[in-house]
A = this chain, B = another copy of it.
Amino acid sequence: MIRIFVTGGTFDKAYDEIRGRLSFGDTHLHEMLRLGRAHVPVSVRTLMMVDSLDMTDADRDVIVRNCAHCDDTCIVVTHGTDTMVETAAALARGVAGKTIVLTGAMIPYAFGSSDGLFNLGSALSFVQVLPPGVYIAMNGQHFAWDRVRKNRETGVFEAM
């Protein structure tokens, strides 16, 4: 069983047609798993729905505690890309003996041109085969939590 914790981020941004701006509603994760015809057993729980630039230390505590206390040892966390590395570091400090893979998207899933489905397929795969540790899966690659940074100019995650 793979546990998926949803925290928001670009991945789940929707378009609020009444107010004419981006917003968060329900997660698109169930629809994405259906589209991907995923048959790996998963359990999805939404922890929060926030832009990762607005994520507080208290929010990160919630994520860490949920990952630490759930029974599952394979965990995917969907997360905004801007502070994904910070949350990965918090998870590395607070959770041991589990494989945790953070992923997200540069373009909202609700847009036709999203990278979200590709990244979800990637994260769900990495989490099944990587040894315990905290990783980021973006751009078809995986990075140990302390060996990666997001290049803010290009939007690409880079090894360091």
Contacts and interface: CB of A to CB of B under 8 A. Distances in A.
Given A17-B107, A17-B155, A155-B17, A37 B125 contact: no
Interface of A: 10, 15, 17-18, 20-22, 32-33, 35-40, 51, 53, 80, 82, 106-108, 110-115, 117-126, 128-130, 137-142, 152-157
Report the copy number of this chain in the oligomer. Answer: 4
Nearest to A32: B118
5 contacts: A36-B139, A37-B118, A40-B140, A117-B121, A121-B125
Contact of A142 (B18, B108, B125): B125
A140 B39 contact: yes
A18 B155 contact: yes
Contacts of A111: 15, 110-112
Contacts of A119: 36, 121
Given A15-B107, A112-B112, A129-B130, A140 B155 contact: no
Contact of A122 (B22, B108, B125, B153): B125
A62 to B, nearest CB: 22
Given A38-B140, A112-B111, A141-B39, A18 B122 contact: no
Contacts of A118: 32, 35-38, 117-118, 120-121
The 7 closest A-B CB pairs, nearest first, are: A36-B118, A121-B121, A38-B140, A118-B121, A125-B125, A39-B139, A121-B122
Residue of A22, A53, A137 with highest tally of chain B CB at under 10 A: A22
